[in-house]
Amino acid sequence: MTSLACPNSAALAAVVPAPAVTVVRTGTNRPARPARAGRATHTGHSPIRTRRLVLRCLAESDLGEFNRVMDLSREHLDRWIPIVAPHESNTQAMKRCIALAANGDQTRSAWRRVACTPSGRLVGGFSIFAITRGLTSEGCAHWWVAADAVGHGYGREIVAAAVAHATRDLPSGLGLHAVHAAIHPDNAVSATLARRVGFIHTGICQPVRVGDRWERHDEYIFRVKADAIDGPDYGSNSTTSGGVGGSAGIASIPGIGSGVPSLATRS
């Protein structure tokens, strides 16, 4: 499964109940933030741990596993979010992803992580990019799940933990007020996942470039509210996982390669 972030901050529900949380007001001009249930742990840029997974930076030591997953998942991912560009080798794509993640952390413009089991098996990834900060702070997101990890609820576990981190106050989180995602209308799995973790369909459509083609995508948004809301359910065992996302009209897809929104695929 894969999913991508939305266009711009201007345009840019849960099916299963999640644990209730209380609101903690953190500032005079910021929306109140929900206090998240403690099922995912992390501090700043340290790995985020859920019940079954670790969200961390991709490393050169992951090359063997990255090669395995890309070879196995190429057809599965290319429909929505081609991770390896046509002109690239797996090694080149991985080095590009590592560089993008490092730059995003340094400039605070993006947060890119892969999701692995404690044993090191790569099952997916999640990225938040095009982060803007001002009266409100927002970002675009995409996610993906390896072909051999589909159907185990990993997609929801990854997205729920990542969105919780994105909307948690600085410095332990990214301090965002909203996370945007664009999902292809045919990617029902990803749309269902997005709704499960709290994204809402805006009713707006936008063109997204996937490889050499442009396709219409639906916009979704996860927004922190000033009143109590349900928090994401980390570690869900739901067998419904998410698919793909999209990006703004100016987005182009080797998403992870260019740093712009990309599409999602089934999980």
Q: What is the pLDDT of residues 56-89, one digit of tens each?
A: 999 999 999 999 999 999 999 988 888 999 899 9
CA dihedral 56, 60, 63, 65 (to 10 degrees): -30
User: Which is it for strands 23-24 and 2-3: parallel, antiparallel or unpaired?
Assistant: unpaired
Q: What is the pLDDT of residues 125-184, one digit of tens each?
A: 999 999 999 999 999 999 999 999 999 999 999 999 999 999 999 999 999 999 999 999
Mean pLDDT (whole number) for 103-117:
97
**Tokens 């599965």 identify what position?**
76
d(C-alpha 3, C-alpha 262), whole Å: 7
Mean pLDDT (whole number) for 43-48:
76
Mean pLDDT, the chain, whole residue set: 76
Confidence (pTM): 0.72
User: pLDDT class for 27, splitting at 50, 70, 90?
Assistant: very low
CATH class given for the domain over 2-16+31-258: alpha beta
> Residue 210 has what pLDDT?
78
The percent of residues in the chain predicted with pLDDT above 70, rounded, is 68
Burial class (CB in 10 A: 0-12, 13-18, 19+), 11: middle
- Note if the bond before 171 is cis, omega within 30 degrees: yes
Q: CA of 85: how far to CAs of 44, 78, 98, 210, in Å?
A: 31, 9, 15, 11
241 with 189: CB under 8 angstroms? yes
Q: What is the pLDDT of residues 215-261, one digit of tens each?
A: 999 999 999 976 533 444 433 333 233 333 333 222 222 232 333 33
What DSSP designation does 177 have? S
What DSSP designation does 85 have? -
Q: What is the pLDDT of residues 201-219, one digit of tens each?
A: 999 998 888 777 889 999 9
User: pLDDT class for 3, splitting at 50, 70, 90?
Assistant: low
Q: How many CB atoms lie within 10 A of CB 252?
A: 18
**Tokens 């072909």 identify what position?**
147
In this structure, what token pair is assigned to residue 252? 């182009």
Amino acid residing at 40: A
User: pLDDT class for 1, splitting at 50, 70, 90?
Assistant: low
Q: CA of 131: how far to CAs of 29, 90, 143, 203, in Å?
A: 19, 27, 16, 22
User: pLDDT class for 32, splitting at 50, 70, 90?
Assistant: very low
194 with 264: CB under 8 angstroms? no
